[in-house]
Amino acid sequence: MDILQILLTESFWAATLRIATPLIFGVLGALICEKAGVLNLGIEGIFVAGAMAGWMAVWFGFSLWTGLLVAIFVGGFFGLIHAILTVPLGLSQHVSGLGVTMLATSVSYFTYRTALPKVSSPPKIEPFQPFDVPFLSELPFIGPILSQQTAMTWLAILMVGLVWWIFNRTPLGLSIRAVGDNPDAVDAQGLSVYGIRIGSIIVGSSIMALGGAFLTMSAFDSFFFGMVNGRGWICIALVIFASWRPGKALLGAILFGAFDAFQVRLQTEVGAFLPSQVFLMAPYVLSIIALVIVARRAEYPRALLKPWFKGAR
């Protein structure tokens, strides 16, 4: 029962990255929406939709990368619904998000069940395989960890960098950051508040869908009901924890993944003393604790949750 020993095994860190990957996508996606001023509670449903749509595309014969594109498209579609309800119509972001989650989930379940009748074990596809990056896999300790990861994990990490760049080094990112603080500022400079917000929500939702797709196309190889299991909500908590910053988002996701991987291993060590459910609860409890710790000082985007209407001054 040596904590340090667990931390030093490669399999632990490999598992950490695997658990963290969908969270990275989810937190990035939610972060983009919230930076623009809109809370997207559709994330849980979009995860389901991405998981189902991407998987099903592969099941019907398309390539894995096409499957990802399908997931992106589906995520963007549900994001568009949320965007229309919350931006030009200015409806409650909470209710709209929950509605989108319910819609995306029920559409996904219905489609899956209709296309594939009930069987004893869920059908499988050939998922993403571990991806060997030529130079990096030679490195000691880090090498084996990285070479166990699939292309999607690399995509997630690259995406962190891309999002960071866009937010901090491009005019587009500047306008997104501005619109989440004071839409009037953006409007007065001749930019379209609606356009920036709607675009951000669609892009953010597409990225969220990749988080779901990772579950069925990389971590596992089939789709089953209830597989998302609250990961979307955990991402919403992690965004606050990450102070809406891509770099911290990556860190938060990895920390969370580490904790989750740790508790699985801990279970095998001390499993006799505590019922397994205590360990199962741990990720959720941890998220709540993380949220409480940062909540006081959290600097929410100032315009978050506030609808903005053109011409209402």
Partner 1 sequence: MIRIEPREMPSKWWTIGIPIISAFVAILLASIPLTLAGANIFEAYRQMANGIFGSTFAFTEMLTRATPLIFTGLAATIAFRAKLWNIGAEGQLYLGAMAAVAVGTGLIDAPAFILIPIILLAGALSGAIGMAAPTYLKTRFGADEVVTTLLLNFIVIIFLQMMLEGPLKDPMGMGWPQSEPIVDNGVLPQLLPRMRIHAGLIIALLTAGLVHLFLSKSIWGFKIRAVGENPSAALHAGINVKRTFMGAAVVSGAIAGLAGVSEVAGLRGYLTTDLSPGFGYTGIVVAMLAGLSPIGVVISAIFIASIFVGADTMSRAIGVSSYLADLVVALSLICVLIGGFIARYKFIRTNKGNV
Partner 2 sequence: MMKNTRVLSLENISKRFGSVVANNSVNIDLYRGEVLALLGENGAGKTTLMNMLFGHYIPDSGSIDVLSYEGQMEPLTLGHPQASLDAGIGMVHQHFTLAENLSVLENILLGSEKIWAWRHNRSNARDKITKIMNRTGLYAPLDEEVGKLTVGERQRVEILKALYQEVKILVLDEPTAVLTPQEADTLFENITAMTKDGLSVIFISHKLREVLAFSNRIAVLRHGKKVGEIPTSEANERVIARMMVGEETIENPRKKMKIGSPVLQLNGVSSKGDSTRTSLNRTNLTIHKHEIVGVAGVSGNGQSVLAKLISGLAEPDSGELLIDGKNIKYFSPNEMQSLGVGRIPEDRHHDGVISAMSVAENLIIERLHDEDVNNKGFLQNKSIKKNAEELIEKYDIRGPGIDANTALLSGGNIQKLILARVFECMPNVILANQPTRGLDLGAANEVARRLLEARTRGAGILLISEDLDEILELSDRIMVIHDGSLTEAIDVSREAIGLMMAGEKA
Residue ranges in contact with partner 2 by CB under 8 A = 169-172, 174-175, 177-178, 181-182, 184-191, 299, 301-302, 311, 313
User: Which amino acid does the sequence have at 119?
Assistant: V
**Encoded amino acid at 83, one letter:** A
Residue 219: CB minimum distance to partner 2, A: 34
* 295 belongs to the binding site for partner 1 (CB under 8 A): yes
Q: How far is the CB of 302 from partner 2 (least distance, A)?
A: 7
Shortest Cβ distance from residue 63 to partner 2 (Å)? 29
**Which does residue 74 bind out of partner 1, partner 2, none, counting CB within 5 to 8 angstroms by kind?**
none
The residue with tokens 């990389």 is 218
The mark string for 25-44 relative to partner 1 (x by CB under 8 A, - otherwise) is: ----------------x---
Note whether 56 binds partner 1 by CB under 8 A: no
Residue 169: CB minimum distance to partner 2, A: 5
131's CB contacts (< 8 A; 6+ apart) are 147, 149, 150, 151, 153, 154
295 touches which of partner 1, partner 2, none (CB within 5 to 8 A by kind)? Answer: partner 1
**Rounded Cα gap, residues 137 and 116, in angstroms:** 39
d(CA 24, CA 157): 8
C-beta of 190: minimal distance to partner 2 in Å? 3
Site residues for partner 1, 219-258, by CB under 8 A, read 229-230, 233-234, 236-237, 240
Asked if 221 and 127 touch (Cβ cutoff 8 Å), the reply is yes
Q: What are the Cα distances from residue 52, in Å, to 67, 96, 211?
A: 10, 22, 11
Tell me the window of 21-29, 101-109, 145-153, 189-197 that interacts with partner 1 (CB under 8 A): 101-109
The phi and psi torsions of 193 (rounded to 5 degrees) equal -65, -45
The nearer residue to partner 1, 8 or 298, going by C-beta atoms, is 298
Q: Minimum CB separation from partner 1 for residue 129, in Å?
A: 31
Q: How far apart are CA 81 and CA 57, in angstroms?
A: 22
The SS3 call for residue 150 is strand
Total H helices, total E strands in the chain: 13, 0
* Contacts with partner 1, 116-155, as mask; x by CB under 8 A: ----------------------------------------
Closest listed residue to residue 125, CA positions, set 179, 61, 206, 41: 61
DSSP 223: -
Q: Are 166 and 146 in contact (CB under 8 A)?
A: no
Q: Give the shortest CB-210-to-partner 1 separation in angstroms.
A: 21
Question: How many Å apart are CA 301 and CA 298, to the nearest integer?
Answer: 9
178 binds, among partner 2, partner 1, none (CB under 5 to 8 A by kind): partner 2
Q: Residue 264 is encoded by which pair of tokens? A: 């699985």
The site for partner 1 (CB under 8 A) is made up of 41, 81, 85, 89-92, 94-96, 98-100, 102-103, 105-107, 109-111, 113-114, 229-230, 233-234, 236-237, 240, 275, 277-278, 280-281, 284-285, 287-288, 291-292, 295-296, 298, 309, 311
